[in-house]
Structure 1
Amino acid sequence: MGPVRRPAIDPVLSGVPLGYILYNLKDIGPKLSEGAKATQAIPPTGPLHSEMLVKFNNTDLEPPTHILAVHSKQQNGLFTLYPVHALVVSTGCAHLPLLPDSPAIPPGAAMPELTLPVVSLSIPSPSMFQPILNYLYMRQNDVILDVLLPIEDNEVDPFIEMSKKQAEQFSVKELLINARKIWGLWANASALGIFDDHLFTTMEIAWEICIGALNISLDKPLDSGVDVPPED
């Protein structure tokens, strides 16, 4: 008899409103994140398979349920592995591919090695997937602001002052790199179907501040646009 499998999302939650699940994830998400970070995926020596062996030896944490192999269409055969919990990514991403069932693991069981299903995930900006994943687990705007507004004090207000501060601290090249990060995060969130007003508002604020800083550095009016070609 093969290993017992469990659905990607517990059927018990099928009738629970999504908003209620997301609200409670604010409490359990950080602990689940620790479990994901404590997991070491063992990449295959050949082509990517449908399952992968991972190392996990912390019985105090909840082990992940799946491995996401993240890549872009331009990256032929190149991917980055992310251990994840189905509850977090499935409830947060409406456009995520259907996740296969994963092994049922008894709570507190000592399982130094697990075999988890692998799901290939193509997104516009693979390098900006980690911030998205961090946000899905933590549900805190600071997780995004720390990446998109890399200044010593991001509590400065109003926006024009934050733009001036960025213009003082970073070169035009560095500001363009940051603008690409913001675009990459936005493109990933849109592609994954993350319908989170707080996340998109945070990205919009970061974009306005970054473009304002670029305009200052380039001696343009603050309300003028700057075209930033997306790259990854």
Structure 2
Amino acid sequence: MFQVASHPAAFHLREKRDPPAHRRPSYDYAAPAPAPQQQQALQLPRTLARPPFTDISRDALVAAAPELAAVPAEFIRHGLRAKGPHMQAGIAALAPSHLPVSLPRDRLPPALRIPLCAPPPGAPAPPSYPTHALAIGLPVSKSSPSPADAPQAVFPVHAVVLAAHCAKLPRLPPASPPSSRSSSITLPVLPLALPSPQAFAILHAYMYTHRIDAALGSLLPLPSAFLSSLASSQDPSVALSAALARPSTRHALSEHLLAAAGTSLSALMAHAGHVKELWQDMVALGVYDPALWAGVDLAWEVVLGAMNLGVQ
């Protein structure tokens, strides 16, 4: 099992889990209505704690891209943003009929051989093909067993992207890049246990696009005008911090979320669960992106604000 060092402790929320569906960009499952005594006993932390900063592993980075050994991490991430469209084109070139959405945990193949499709017109060239496939499932323990054939969500990834963003991941095993004339690609399959495969779908997209508006829009139903303002901001982390510090903005966003939830506490609990799961995955992987953390902070404030409005 390809593992991260640890997982953050979860706090309890009554929520329904869907089967892995990482190609669906947003959550669409709802929490069951809690019993009255459970509503009264519900306790959520005031904030979602940020762990101490840990720099990315140079060993993991060198294994993924030896030429970047002496390059500062921030410059690497900046350079990867420019290459993001080429990497996305490489992922999109994988034949969908041969790229499984999920695989059973007890029958994971050592590798997937996937045919390559011709890039669509207008796609950036040349495409940068992924190097590995992550098979992500829930942690298994004596207290929380899961079936041997539990589905593991499959995500094609580039090793250098993971190494540049996830401080707690060890080095990935080597992969053989395809030649320019290859008609298929072989991706080593790496099992990875995370608190939420669904939340990793948001992280997976964000590491390639750095679109905080898309990440928050997948996490919560927020006003389109607010998300558009983030998309046009030169520094989304500053814009999010400003929104977090402005009571009127937080209140307006909470009112919007409450209305979108139909004033249902059950639905708001589900939204809280979504934010919690993204936070857990970020801590487990060691993702320290300032804009993404500011987005999680704001999303948590908005959910708590909506809950407070809903019980008034």
Same fold (TM over 0.5): yes
TM-score interval w.r.t. the shorter chain?
0.7 to 0.9
Which residue of 2 is the match for residue 169 of structure 1? 260
Which residue of 1 is the match for residue 68 of structure 2? 13
Cα distance in structure 2, aligned partners of 1:146 and 1:24: 25
Q: 1:104 aligns with which of 168, 171, 177?
A: 177
1:36 and 2:109 matched: no
Cα distance in structure 2, aligned partners of 1:104 and 1:210: 44
1:49 and 2:109 matched: yes
TM-superposed deviation, 1:113: 2.1
1:120-135 equivalence runs, <5 A:
120-135=191-206
1:78-93 equivalence runs, <5 A:
78-93=151-166
Which residue of 2 is the match for residue 228 of structure 1? none
Equivalent position SS for 1:79: strand
Q: Which structure 2 residue ranges, 5 or more long, are not aligned?
A: 1-61, 120-124, 141-145, 228-247
Is residue 37–residue 83 contact of structure 1 (8 Å, CA) maintained in 2?
no
Which residue of 2 is the match for residue 222 of structure 1? none
- Letter matched to residue 91 of structure 1: A
Is residue 166–residue 285 contact of structure 2 (8 Å, CA) maintained in 1?
yes
TM-superposed deviation, 1:127: 1.3
Distance 1:44 1:53, change over 3 A: farther
Compute the RMSD of aligned alpha carbons: 2.2
Which residue of 2 is the match for residue 113 of structure 1? 184
Equivalent position SS for 1:90: helix
Is residue 8–residue 102 contact of structure 1 (8 Å, CA) maintained in 2?
no
Q: Deviations over 1:201-228 (max 9, x none)?
A: 1100011001101111122xxxxxxxxx
TM-score normalised by L of structure 1: 0.82
Which residue of 2 is the match for residue 179 of structure 1? 272
Cα distance in structure 2, aligned partners of 1:161 and 1:22: 33
- Letter matched to residue 99 of structure 1: L
Q: Deviations over 1:152-211 (max 9, x none)?
A: 435295111111111122132222111111000000000001111221111000110011
Is residue 68–residue 118 contact of structure 1 (8 Å, CA) maintained in 2?
yes
Equivalent position SS for 1:73: coil
Cα distance in structure 1, aligned partners of 2:92 and 2:297: 29
TM-superposed deviation, 1:44: 7.0
Cα distance in structure 2, aligned partners of 1:20 and 1:52: 32
TM-superposed deviation, 1:51: 1.5
Distance 1:139 1:14, change over 3 A: same
Q: Which structure 1 residue ranges, 5 or more long, are not aligned?
A: 1-6, 220-232
Equivalent position SS for 2:226: coil
1:204-219 equivalence runs, <5 A:
204-219=297-312
TM-superposed deviation, 1:8: 4.6
TM-superposed deviation, 1:105: 2.2
Aligned length: 211
Is residue 103–residue 151 contact of structure 2 (8 Å, CA) maintained in 1?
no
Q: Deviations over 1:22-56 (max 9, x none)?
A: 01122111331232233242577871132222232
Cα distance in structure 2, aligned partners of 1:11 and 1:97: 15
Which residue of 2 is the match for residue 225 of structure 1? none
Cα distance in structure 1, aligned partners of 2:133 and 2:278: 20
Which residue of 2 is the match for residue 62 of structure 1? 128
Which residue of 2 is the match for residue 148 of structure 1? 219
Equivalent position SS for 1:155: helix
Q: Deviations over 1:113-166 (max 9, x none)?
A: 221111111111111110011111111211221122313435295111111111
Cα distance in structure 2, aligned partners of 1:122 and 1:81: 12
Which one has more relative contact order, counting CA pairs under 8 Å at least 6 apart? 2
